[in-house]
Every structure is written in structure tokens, then in C-alpha cells.
Chains A and B, each alone.
Chain A
Amino acid sequence: MRYAMAIDTKKCIGCSDCVVACQVENNVPIGYCRDWVVEATSGTYPELFMELRSERCNHCSNAPCVRCCPTEASHYGMGGIVLVDPDECIGCKACIVSCPYDARFVHPEGYVDKCTFCIHKVEKGENPACVDVCPTKCMYFGDTDDPNSEISKLLKKRKWKTLIPEAGTEPNIYYLT
């Protein structure tokens, strides 16, 4: 099993509902976010191209944060979801500097926090909060090891990219382009 997320950049309108849903669902402290929206504009005027991306931890298959953690607080959970165990985290912040996506932060209580793919919901067979709430239904969550899952079919049919693939982290958030 390999949990992953596909986000359709053609359908995303950058409303940030995913960000708010995450903050509510996971009780993210005020001023912090586990997911965020990026607006990337490229090209030279007048030929400009804009892409909206809902970003979060990439739950990498080769996660540097898991490798560099001295206490096994950062670990792979069910379906390869990258998790932090607050009771094992010493707050050394090595995982924060090891992440090329800067997806982690220090929770005000001291431990390191980040996106969990809403594992508490996924365990019950539900979708992560951000996926559920998206008004344009541009986000897809599922198992890429299962060739019949909606996400696997989408990734076969559509063109996609991942972020900083050259860093070699094997990210599992796919952006449909």
C-alpha cells in the first residue's frame, strides 16, 4: 500500500479552503499551517502562465527527515505516510533542515509537527480533511500501489509532475498539469 495525493492544478482556484480545513481538523496552532497554497507565475509579460498548487508534506518514499531523525520520532506509518511521534521527538530540528520542501515546523509545545494525511481519518477509510472540503474537487487521495484506484488511473491518464524530483526524495504528492 502506498498512499499518495494527486492535485489537479487545472481545477484548483487557490481558495485556501484546504488550509482552513486542515487547521480545524488537526487543531493546528494559530499562525501555523500544515498545508498552504502557492501561486507560481512564470514566463515574461505578456506571455504569462500561472499555476496554483496546494502544497504540504510530500510523504516522500525516500524521506530525508526519517533518515536524519536521531530518535525514530520521524517514521513511516501505514501506507508510507511520514509521521512524527511527539513522545519521541526531542526538538533537535534536524528533520526541519533536512526537508527541501520546508514542510515541517516546531509546534508551540516543542515537538515537530507537519501534515499527517489526516491518518486518524484515513485509518477509518475516510479521506484527509483537505480532500473532503475542496469545493472544486481538485484533490484525490488513494493508494498508488492499487492499479484500480482512482488516483492510479488518473496518474496513468493525465500528465503530472512532482516537486523538486531532482532532490531524490521520491515525493508522493502529484500535481496534474
Chain B
Amino acid sequence: MKEEIIVSGRLNPTIDPILNVWHWEIPLYLFVGGLVAGILFFSAFFTLKGESDKFHFTTKIAPMFAPLLLTIGLIALFLDLSHKLYFWQLYTNIRWESPMSWGAWTLMLIMPLSVLWSLSWINDLFPKWNWKFNFIIIMNSYIILYRKVIAWALIILSIILGMYTGILLSAFNARPFWNSAIMGPLFLTSGLSASASIILLFSKSKIEKHLFTKIDLMLIIVELFFIVHLFMGYLAGTKVHIEAADLFLGGVYTAPFWIFVVIFGLVFPLILEIMELKGKSIPAIITTSLVLFGSLMLRFIVVEAGQFSRWLY
């Protein structure tokens, strides 16, 4: 057997011995980004279907959280930057090849749109709301007039946002564990599932709850399928990809990933939702907390494990 021992004189902070440049800010942002993508997607989708009254919480109330959550995500992203005062350089360049640039521009568009979108529902939620100034009333009526256009824009942008949270990682060939095209769809599904579980928790309508239990159940099954697919892809890959998968199949991330993400975050909610659909009454708070916890852990573990995995030479 050929063995190789490498002794390197390099010891750059946060690079050696194990790369650790992205900390809690990035996974938190990826989680919030996915959640917002899901909230806005469902809201725009049911509005376009003309069911905004039937799904009151999904279309009208949930989007109120979107700008707030996005702000938390943006603050986290800003905190991650090490050369903060130059952040505006993101918006003097458009780089098609850079996922980071896609993300920056998507956020630039989706942030104001999510504010407009929530504003357009204020009158529905608070009929006695006093806008005080006439020009705001006129502006608001314009937003409501163009609601369909905004909804279509939100559908496209929210899919880009949800997908990009995974592509941001999968685009890095240098980190074998991230380097799978499944990451984008996996993170999108996980984001949609997290937002569906939020709706499940806060909605007061039985029809809405029932539908979103079904939607979340489906999304969880898709997610489980993607996870199996992810590992099968790695195991059929090159040596470095097999080593990256081994981190989860006996290596250091085995216990946290399979227990926190798969069992707590996916399998338990799956069982609870099946029981719910069979007519058993399960407190939504349990299902929702499990889904949100699993979704957050997925991002934390994947971001860390990706930095742990590497090419060897």
C-alpha cells in the first residue's frame, strides 16, 4: 500500500489545519434565505391561483415576516464580510459566473419587492389602517393594481433565492462535499418545507393546515430522496467525493447529521404529519420546531462539513 505523509510549513489563521472561514453567519443566512423564499413563493402562488382569501395566513400574514427575516439574513451576511466598508462593490459589478453576485442582486430585488408585497396586504389585514398621507394611498393602490406582476416576479425570484442558497455551496469544486448539483434543489426543498411548517403552526384555518400538512409531507419525502441521491452521487464519484461522503457514513459528521437532520428534522415530522393526516391531533408546535431545527442543522452541518472536505495531494 502506498502511504503519504505531508508536513506543511503553512499555518495561516482560519485556513490551517482545517479550513474554517465561514462560521455561523453563512448557515444562518442560508436558513433564513430559504425560509423567506418559501414564504414568498407560497404567498405569490396562492395569490395567482386566486385563493388569497381561502389561504389567508399563507398569502397575507406570512409575507409580513419576510422583510424582517431577510433583514436578519442580510445583517448576518454583512457580519461575515471581513472587508465590510467595501460591500457596495457588490453592486457596481454584475458577475454571471459568480453565485455570490447572483445572490447579492437577487436580494437587492427581492428585499424591496417583499416590502411592497406585504404593504399590498395591509388594507386587507387592517381595514381601519390610516395611511395619513394621500400619496401613500395612491401608491398603495398602484401596488395592489400590479399585484399579479409582483407575484410573478416573486415566484421567479424566490425560486432563484431558495436554489441559490444551495448553489452558492455546490459551485465550489474545491470542496468535494459541497460539489453536488443536488445541493440547490435540496436547499430549495428544505426552505419550502421550513416555510410550510411555519404556516402549519400559525394558520387558524383547518383547510390551510390540512393542505400544508400534505405539502410539507411531500416536501420531506422529496428531501429524503435528495439526501439519498446526494450520497449515491458521491459514492459513485471520485476518491475525494467518496472521502467526503465517508465523513457522514462513519466519519465525524455521522451522528449529528443522521440524528439531528434526518431523524429529528425529517423522519419524526414525517411520522407526525402522517398521523395528523390520519386524524390524530398532533400539536403543530412539535412538528414545526422539528422541521425548523432540522432545516437549520442541515445548513450548519453542510457548511462546516464542506470546509472540512478537501482535495488531497
Contact = CB atoms under 8 A, between A and B. Distances in A.
A64 B87 contact: no
Contacts of A97: 19, 21-22, 172, 174-175, 306-307
A11 B101 CA distance: 44
A36 B19 CA distance: 16
Nearest to B97: A67
Contact of B98 (A40, A42, A70, A167): A70
Interface stretch (A98-106, A123-131, A142-150): A98-106
Interface string B1-23: 11111111111111110010110
Contact of B16 (A89, A102, A168): A102
Contacts of B7: 38-41
A71 interface: yes
Interface residues of A, number: 50
B81 to A, nearest CB: 5
Contacts of A31: 11-13
A42 B2 CA distance: 7
Contacts of B306: 97
Given A37-B9, A98-B172, A102-B19, A44 B3 contact: yes
B205 interface: no
Interface residues of B, number: 48
A92 B100 contact: yes
B79 to A, nearest CB: 11
A88 interface: yes
Given A40-B6, A43-B3, A110-B84, A167 B173 contact: yes
Interface in B90-112: 90, 92-93, 95, 97-101, 104
Interface in A19-50: 19, 31-33, 36-44
B310 interface: yes
Contact of A99 (B83, B86, B174): B174
Interface of B: 1-16, 19, 21-22, 80-84, 86-87, 89-90, 92-93, 95, 97-101, 104, 171-175, 238, 306-307, 310-311, 313
30 contacts: A33-B12, A39-B8, A40-B4, A44-B1, A44-B3, A55-B8, A68-B99, A71-B89, A88-B89, A89-B83, A90-B84, A91-B83, A92-B81, A94-B100, A94-B172, A96-B19, A97-B21, A97-B174, A98-B173, A100-B173, A102-B15, A102-B16, A105-B12, A105-B14, A106-B13, A106-B82, A111-B83, A111-B86, A163-B313, A167-B174
Report the 9 A-B pairs with minimum CB-CB distance, sorted nearest first: A91-B82, A91-B83, A36-B10, A110-B83, A70-B101, A70-B100, A100-B174, A105-B12, A71-B89
